[in-house]
Amino acid sequence: MSDKPKFVYVIYIASTPEKVFAALTDPDQTEQYWFGFRVGANGKVGSPRTVRNSSGVDFPNGVILESDPPRRLSYTWPPHTDQTKHERPSRATFDIDMIKGQVRLTIVHDDFDVGSRVFEGISQGWPAVLSSLKSFLETGRVSDPGWCEDSDKQPAVQDDRVRA
């Protein structure tokens, strides 16, 4: 077993795989539930994954590694803060399937070096983003972005109490 950091999160959503895939890849939708981020990931393999934050700042592009709508999506995740810019890009992979009438969305975020700061950030950020995605798809309402207080507005809320 590798010691390299790997984040895994599973969430079940009363929706369809098509709607979940669209919500993860269409910037007009991500803007509504993902801290105001416009995340574009609906291109083909090899095309860029784009991110523009709520202040209109573009982050470095990732690359779409796999895209099999509405089942699977994988892209690289370059660091975007001064504290993390020395790190190499990590990788986020989404698997979408139907289990007993609801969507199971599994995210695996890996390919980090040991001690990665980005890993610490995304481990806090994904539960918040994916909780908000679920609310968005099930209720049309999203979580209050006020609980993302990080100055860079990256999907990271520092809170040591939830460390495993």
Q: Which spans of this chain sit near another protein (rule: CB under 8 A)?
A: 9-14, 99-102, 127-128, 131-132, 134-135, 138-139, 141, 143-144, 146-147, 161-162, 164
Q: Phi and psi (nearest 5°) for 77?
A: -135, 90
Tell me whether residue 26 is exposed, middle or buried, using C-beta atoms within 10 angstroms of its C-beta: 0 to 12, 13 to 18, 19 or more: middle
What is the smallest separation between the CB atom of 46 and another protein, expressed in angstroms?
32
Shorter beta-carbon distance to another protein: residue 139 or 158: 139
> How far is the C-alpha of 50 from the C-alpha of 62, rounded, in Å?
7
What is the smallest separation between the CB atom of 16 and another protein, expressed in angstroms?
14
Shorter beta-carbon distance to another protein: residue 13 or 73: 13
Shorter beta-carbon distance to another protein: residue 114 or 164: 164
Q: What is the phi-psi region of residue 152: left when phi exceeds 0, alpha when psi lies from -120 to 50, beta otherwise?
A: alpha
